[in-house]
């Protein structure tokens, strides 16, 4: 760690740092690149602004990285790796690594040095004891926040990651207070909305997500000014941009960006006092509905699940939106296609069944034409396997659901109501199909075997569900209709 001292401090004989020098043999993976906990970027080693190839040929001081800086960078990368280990991290803070890093941040002109300092602290912040040391180190948090005003992508990414970890810890209030001024929050939103770098978008939105998901005291400090500065608009604009990328280019490295944006929007949708603005945004609602209809869901399965939960939350507040959706057959089909990705997520499955129930209760099978009814029957019968698999999985979820009576009631009631509507629609179809007058309309009708199998499965589940949930009031039809 002695080699990480700023150059002027190394020449001071009165400076004492406990601990041994950096040893390249400790972590061999650090020889070429910095790799650390939760680091997703393989950043280049050189990002010094103001240099060009002509200057590098002159041999001047500003034309190349000095030998001392190369040694600093090499040792810094070793410590970046070591900081990912709890034992090493605690030893490092005991030997004043935070003071050394703070000194460097206050004097360095090198963005590479700044990035490594922030990266080391980002890994230290993953551990409880080092995090407490960071909070108690005088002036450190304010210096970290100052790095948000740099124009270097790698430094901004590491600063956002570090601040996100701070907001997720037990000392989150201190970190929130350091971020609460308008010019700092404006800067975060500006970087988030204007960067074209996918990794930086992901980390800056991750910082906003940490603010949204942190403890109530952080919400009270940061959410109101963020909303006044246009947080909801920024997130919706980002979602629109990522959706256009998804539909036109399908770049795998952007899938995680889409996911974190949706997670931030989901968190905003459920915050009391702030949800109305986002839930009433028509563009936002259309975007998440478009994602449900996206054909290749395997690539963005997490995002589709999140979109389903968001839509369920919106419909619970703005139920009349379900009227138009009930006629959107690709949307209904897309909902069933998401079930395979929710096997371990009870709340997500509850959300999907809730949406389906809200849609199907608006299907007037007794009043629609046979051709229109056939379209609904075709979708339901074609998704019979998915419905059957979900009901089969439910048998193994009973112990989990019983841990929470509320969760048990929501998912079972919504599912049961939806299945009853499916039974009614399929029965209506069967009655029409058996009618001599309508047989000419029924050519190329949905597969009879699937229909009978689905009917049988739905009947069995609704009977069992009624018995097992006798103590829980079933959802009324009014719960799914316009208020």
The first and second tokens of residue 100, run together, are: 């050394």
DSSP symbols for 113-173? HHHHHHHHHHHHTTSHHHHHHHHHSTTHHHHHHHGGG---HHHHHHHHHHHHHHHHSTTHH
Tokens found for residue 366: 């007794």
269 to each of 155, 311, 323, 363, 374, how far by Cα in Å?
31, 10, 21, 27, 36
Contacts for 213 with CB less than 8 Å, ≥ 6 apart? 168, 267
Going by pLDDT thresholds of 50, 70 and 90, the confidence category of residue 396 is low
pTM attached to this predicted model: 0.83
Q: Domain 70-187 carries which CATH code? A: 1.25.10.10
Of 226 and 449, the structure prediction assigns the larger pLDDT to 226
Q: Which residue has the tokens 């040694």?
A: 71
61-66 mean pLDDT = 52
Calculated CA dihedral for residues 240, 212, 121, 69, nearest 10 degrees: 30
Token pair of 26, please?
Answer: 């400790």
Structure tokens given for 240 = 């629109």
441-459 average pLDDT score: 75
Q: What is the mean pLDDT of the segment spanning 409-433?
A: 85
Residues counted in the chain: 483
* pLDDT over 90 (residue 211): yes
The predicted pLDDT at position 473 comes to 45
Tokens 């509507």: give the residue.
421
130 within 8 A of 37, measured Cβ to Cβ = no
Whole-angstrom distance, CA of residue 246 vs CA of residue 238: 12
Buried/exposed 435-447: b ≥16 CB within 10 Å, e otherwise = eeeeeeebeebbe
Stretch among 31-40, 105-114, 129-138, 354-363 having the lowest mean pLDDT: 31-40
Residue 69: predicted pLDDT: 79
Long-range CB pairs of 405-410, under 8 A, 24+ apart, other chains included: 405/472, 407/346, 407/347, 407/350, 408/469, 408/472, 409/469, 409/472, 409/473, 410/350, 410/354
Q: How many CA atoms lie within 13 A of 424 on its CB side?
A: 15
| pLDDT, average across residues 16-39 | 36
On whether the CB atoms of residues 418 and 457 are closer than 8 A, the answer is no
Closest CA to 193 of 206, 204, 183: 204
pLDDT at 154 (0 to 100): 96
d(CA 144, CA 121): 10
364 falls in which pLDDT band (50, 70, 90)?
Answer: very high
Least confident interval from 235-249, 266-280, 428-442: 428-442
- Which range has the worst mean pLDDT, 114-128, 206-220, 346-360, 467-481? 467-481
User: Phi-psi region for residue 361, left (φ > 0), alpha (ψ -120 to 50) or beta?
Assistant: alpha
For position 480, what pLDDT does the model report? 52
Alpha-helical (H) ranges within 318-447 are 322-325, 329-338, 346-360, 370-382, 384-402, 405-433
């Amino acid at each position: 760690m002695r080699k990480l001292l700023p150059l002027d401090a190394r020449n001071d004989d009165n400076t004492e740092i406990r601990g041994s020098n950096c040893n390249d043999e400790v972590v061999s993976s650090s020889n070429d690149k910095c790799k650390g906990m939760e680091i997703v970027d393989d950043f280049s080693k050189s990002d010094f602004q103001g240099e060009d190839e002509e200057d590098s040929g002159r041999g001047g001081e500003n034309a190349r990285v000095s030998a001392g800086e190369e040694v600093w960078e090499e040792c810094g990368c070793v410590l970046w790796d070591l900081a990912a280990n709890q034992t090493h991290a605690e030893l490092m803070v005991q030997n004043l690594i935070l003071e050394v890093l703070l000194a460097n941040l206050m004097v360095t002109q090198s963005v590479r040095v700044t990035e490594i300092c922030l990266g080391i602290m980002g890994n230290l912040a993953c551990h409880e004891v080092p995090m407490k040391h960071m909070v108690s180190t005088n002036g450190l948090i304010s210096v970290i926040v100052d790095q948000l005003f740099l124009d270097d992508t790698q430094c901004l990414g590491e600063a956002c990651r570090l601040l996100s970890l701070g907001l997720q810890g037990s000392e989150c209030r201190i970190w929130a207070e350091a971020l609460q001024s308008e010019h700092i929050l404006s800067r975060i939103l500006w970087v988030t909305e204007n960067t074209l770098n996918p990794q930086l978008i992901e980390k800056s939105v991750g910082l906003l997500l940490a603010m949204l998901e942190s403890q109530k005291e952080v919400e009270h400090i940061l959410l109101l000014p963020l909303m006044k500065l246009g947080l909801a608009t920024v997130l919706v604009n980002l979602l629109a941009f990522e959706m256009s990328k998804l539909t036109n280019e399908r770049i795998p490295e952007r899938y995680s960006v889409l996911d974190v944006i949706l997670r931030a929007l989901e968190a905003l949708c459920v915050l009391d006092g702030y949800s109305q603005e986002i839930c009433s945004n028509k563009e936002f609602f259309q975007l998440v509905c478009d994602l449900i209809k996206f054909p290749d869901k395997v690539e963005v399965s997490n995002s589709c699940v999140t979109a389903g939960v968001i839509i369920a939350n919106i419909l619970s507040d703005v139920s009349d939106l379900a009227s138009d959706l009930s006629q959107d057959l690709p949307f209904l089909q897309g909902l069933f296609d998401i079930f395979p990705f929710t096997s371990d997520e009870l709340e997500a499955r509850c959300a999907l069944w809730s949406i389906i129930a809200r849609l199907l209760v608006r299907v007037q099978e007794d009043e629609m034409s046979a051709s229109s009814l056939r379209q609904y029957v075709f979708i339901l019968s074609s998704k019979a396997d998915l419905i059957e698999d979900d009901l089969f999985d439910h048998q193994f979820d009973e112990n989990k659901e019983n841990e929470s009576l509320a969760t048990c009631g929501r998912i079972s009631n919504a599912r049961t109501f939806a299945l009853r509507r499916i039974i009614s629609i399929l029965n209506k179809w069967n009655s029409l199909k058996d009618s001599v007058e309508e047989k000419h309309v029924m050519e190329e009708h949905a597969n009879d075997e699937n229909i009978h199998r689905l009917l049988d499965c739905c009947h069995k589940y609704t009977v069992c569900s009624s018995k097992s949930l006798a103590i829980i009031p079933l959802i009324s039809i009014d719960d799914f209709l316009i208020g």
